[in-house]
Amino acid sequence: MNPPRPIGSVLIPAHNEAAVIGRCLKSLLAEIEPGELEVVVVCNGCHDATAQVARSFGPAVTVIELEIASKTAALRTGERHLQVFPRLYLDADVVLSGRTARRILHQLTNQASLVARPPFRYDTSRSSALIRRYYRARIRIPAVMNSIWGAGVYGLSAAGRARFGEYPDIVAEDLFVDQQFKPGELEIVGDEPVVVVAPAELRDLLRVMRRAYRGAAENRRRELVVDANRTTTSTIVDILRLAASRPTQLLDTITYVLIAVLARLYVAFGPETRWERDESSRAAAS
């Protein structure tokens, strides 16, 4: 008997993710039948045990190793190996259950579906009081919470993936993908949120935000976005509404704005660094 055709594929780019890749794959493959998912992990520029940990899951996971440390190179390489749509793109530090992955992939088999992701929530249990205030405001901003970027996972149908060609060599690839779709085309599937571990301290958050802002600027500079001002304008409107409608939480809103301004100053006057990430969440996992 021939093995069943996978219901979809999962592409996981991973750069020095030995501390978290096992957690990611264990959750993804739980409650999944053999052959139900086509899973590829692309280890790019790794100097740790990421590949060994991924290979420990056996034939359920295909592991590819690249010498270059580049998420977009990993995405391009992984797509050349994958055969099946719909497709999930999953960050190695995000915990997505197999049950939720199945629901998203089934949703994307609908002829009208283009792009989908699960809901997400921030885990701020290890964060400072300042960071908790920032994220309490952030989760009330629809322009942020209803976007493709930010959750560490999104799924595309074949028609959705046809909206653009190969992933360009940029930092903020999820923002680039987000800009390929009109407001309202993203579907939030299910009620089980993926957990995004928030940075522990302000310096950790600033690293993440600096990368995001530089990635957004790169998208605009290379004219890779459909509407470069859409996200910024929507966020500003949401912040003003939040401040007006929730005066009791004004301090959270002010904190959000001040950190956003500080991050932009950090981009303008800080050292040039192409890739930064929050190591505090990975340290907590290990």
Q: Rounded to 5 degrees, what are φ and ψ at 144?
A: -85, -50
Rounded to whole angstroms, how far apart are CA atoms 175 and 283? Answer: 26
Q: How many residues does the chain have?
A: 286
* Domains contained in the chain, CATH given: 8-285 (3.90.550.10)
Q: What is the pLDDT of residue 228?
A: 47
Structure tokens at 95: 């915990």
Q: What is the pLDDT of residue 224?
A: 53
10-residue stretch averages of pLDDT, the chain, 286 residues long: 81 96 96 93 96 96 96 96 96 94 95 93 93 92 82 95 93 87 91 89 87 66 53 61 66 88 76 61 61
Q: What is the pLDDT of residue 277?
A: 64
Q: What is the pLDDT of residue 181?
A: 93
Q: What is the pLDDT of residue 145?
A: 82
Residue 152 Ramachandran class (φ > 0 left, ψ -120 to 50 alpha, else beta): left
Rounded to whole angstroms, how far apart are CA atoms 260 and 246? Answer: 19
Rounded to whole angstroms, how far apart are CA atoms 117 and 170? Answer: 22
Could you tell me which of 150, 159, 62 has the C-alpha nearest to residue 109?
159
Helix (H/G/I), strand (E/B), else coil: 52: helix
Rounded to whole angstroms, how far apart are CA atoms 276 and 241? Answer: 32
Please give the torsion angle defined by the CA atoms of residues 122, 18, 28 and 82, in that order, rounded to the nearest 10 degrees.
Answer: 120
Could you tell me which of 195, 227, 42, 34 has the C-alpha nearest to residue 125?
195
Residues 173 and 153: beta-carbon distance below 8 Å: no
